[in-house]
Structure formats: C-alpha cells, structure tokens
C-alpha cells in the first residue's frame, strides 16, 4: 500500500535555540523523501541522529528568525518491524512513565479487564477507552497524563493513547506510544496510537478509531509523548506558528478493533 505523507511547520525563534524535529518516517521503510529547513529563507544546517526504536531525530541550531520545515515522503509498502522486540525493551515498556501512570491505574485495569488476554484484551481496552472518553480538540493540557485524562473523560489522540498504554502496562502487557502519519484521519494532523506486545509482535491499539490502523506510517516510538513530540525546543525560546500535515493512501482498508494489526 503506497502512502504519501508531508508536514509543514513554521516556527518563530525568539532567542537562539536547539530544535529537535521528529517528522521523518521511521527507519525500516524505504521511502522517497525530502526534508527542507530554512531560517529566514536561507537553508539551515540539519543533523540527523538515530533515536530509539527506529525514530529519526533532525536537530537544528537556530538564531532568532523564522524557521520553516517542509518534509514529504512516499512510502511504497510494508517496512520491517522497528527495533524494540527484545526482552529488555519489553521490560522497559512495562514501567510507569511520565504520562502513563500504570501504577496508579492498576486497580482500575484489574477491575475492568479481569480474565482477558491477547486480542480479546486489546479489543476490550480499545472499546472501553473509546466509550469512556469524548474526543474534544483543545480539551487537554500538554502536562496531562492518563490519570488526568480518565478523570476529565475527554482528550485528543495522545490522551487516548496514554490511557490505553497505562492500562495495558498495569496488566503486565508491554505497551508504548507511537506517533504516526494517519491516512484517513479527519481533521488531518499528526496522530498518536498505542502499541502492545501480543503474540510475538507489536500490535496497534487506537481507541479513537479515527483512521484505519493498517494504513498508518510510523514516525516516532517511545514511552509516551515525551519521547515522540514532533517539535522540542531546548536552550532558547521558539513559538510554533503553523503546522500542516497530509497523509493519503491508495486505498483505505477496513478496520475491526478485534483484529490484531501491526504497523507496516
């Protein structure tokens, strides 16, 4: 399945800063791609670093000015499973993290999903989170974690994913968050989903059900949103003025939350 993806960012750098971008398709694919970064219209110097689990980091050190990022890629088909399938990684993704307080949510998870495992557990968690929360853009804060999301009963994709991850970890299922391009998503934006280690592979759980899981393109993988943000600013001040994302696929497959699906 061919997918065409792109991202456009415009950032006002108010004081000299280091910006870390996570917008490129993750390792494991063989995309045709182009990344252009300019500062006040002149090409900026970009360094690419290999991050954890196939994530690619693009680092820009910028003086004050207007930074513009344009990325586009054509992803021809299925890629390889990203790094993160050995036992140390699976143990790492059982731990509570900044936005996924699995230790706090343990009693809730055990009460709601007692006796379930494998595909049945993933479907039950996806459906439960999807019915407990209302998808309300702008309803959550960047500092909100899974507990705050459950108490508020609303959020956006990252909030849904954090709650799914926390519940699964509380049930001793390795789980992590993935930032993706999502053909079929409306309104279009960067998207966040959960992955759980079930039957020897990472399986996608998207409680929002806003895009077919088989069409997703991996960008960044980590413990939670602190590892997968499309833009992080260090050592200065920068303001995101504009972000535009596009993702289209030749066909949009049907999806069923009861099916085990991996990101191709």
Higher pLDDT, 29 or 256: 256
pLDDT score of 29: 81
Count CB atoms within 10 A of the CB of residue 249.
22
Closest CA to 145 of 182, 202, 201, 102: 102
Mean pLDDT over 16-43 rounds to 95
- pLDDT at position 77 over 90: no
pLDDT score of 159: 98
**pLDDT tens figures, 164-221:** 999 999 999 999 999 999 999 999 999 999 999 999 999 999 999 999 999 999 999 9
* Alpha carbon distance 79, 61 (integer Å): 31
**pLDDT tens figures, 122-176:** 999 999 999 999 999 999 999 999 999 999 999 999 999 999 999 999 999 999 9
Please report which confidence band the pLDDT of residue 85 belongs to, taking 50, 70 and 90 as the band edges.
Answer: confident
* Alpha carbon distance 85, 92 (integer Å): 11
Q: What is the overall mean pLDDT for the chain?
A: 95
pLDDT score of 241: 98
- CB-based burial label for 91 (10 Å; 0-12, 13-18, 19+): exposed
Tokens of 55: 């994530």
pLDDT score of 86: 85
Domains of the chain: 3-78+232-246 (2.60.40.2250), 87-227 (3.10.620.30)
pLDDT score of 82: 62
pLDDT score of 217: 95
Closest CA to 246 of 194, 185, 157, 156: 185
- pLDDT at position 70 over 80: yes
- The length of the chain is 264
- pLDDT at position 258 over 80: yes
* Alpha carbon distance 223, 83 (integer Å): 14
Higher pLDDT, 36 or 251: 36
pLDDT score of 264: 72
- CB-based burial label for 252 (10 Å; 0-12, 13-18, 19+): middle
- CB-based burial label for 142 (10 Å; 0-12, 13-18, 19+): exposed
């Amino acid at each position: 399945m061919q997918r065409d993806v792109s991202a456009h960012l415009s950032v006002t750098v108010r004081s000299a800063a280091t910006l870390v971008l996570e917008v490129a398709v993750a390792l494991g694919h063989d995309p045709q791609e182009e990344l252009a970064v300019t500062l006040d219209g002149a090409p900026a110097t970009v360094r690419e670093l290999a991050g954890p689990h196939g994530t690619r980091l693009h680092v820009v050190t910028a003086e004050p000015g207007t930074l513009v990022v344009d990325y586009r890629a054509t992803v021809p088909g299925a890629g390889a499973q990203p790094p993160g399938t050995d036992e140390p990684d699976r143990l790492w993704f059982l731990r509570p993290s900044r936005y996924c307080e699995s230790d706090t949510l343990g009693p809730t998870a055990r009460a709601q999903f007692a006796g379930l495992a494998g595909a049945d557990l993933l479907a039950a968690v996806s459906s439960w989170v999807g019915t407990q929360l209302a998808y309300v853009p702008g309803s959550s804060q960047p500092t909100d974690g899974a507990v705050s999301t459950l108490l508020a009963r609303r959020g956006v994709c990252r909030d849904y994913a954090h709650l799914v991850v926390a519940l699964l970890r509380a049930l001793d299922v390795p789980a992590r968050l993935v930032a993706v391009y999502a053909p079929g998503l409306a309104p279009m934006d960067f998207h966040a989903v959960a992955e759980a280690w079930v039957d020897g592979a990472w399986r996608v759980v998207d409680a929002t059900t806003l895009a077919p899981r088989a069409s997703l393109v991996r960008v960044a993988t980590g413990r939670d949103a602190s590892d997968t943000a499309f833009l992080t600013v260090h050592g200065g001040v920068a303001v995101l003025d504009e972000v535009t994302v596009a993702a289209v696929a030749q066909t949009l497959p049907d999806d069923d939350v009861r099916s085990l699906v991996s990101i191709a």
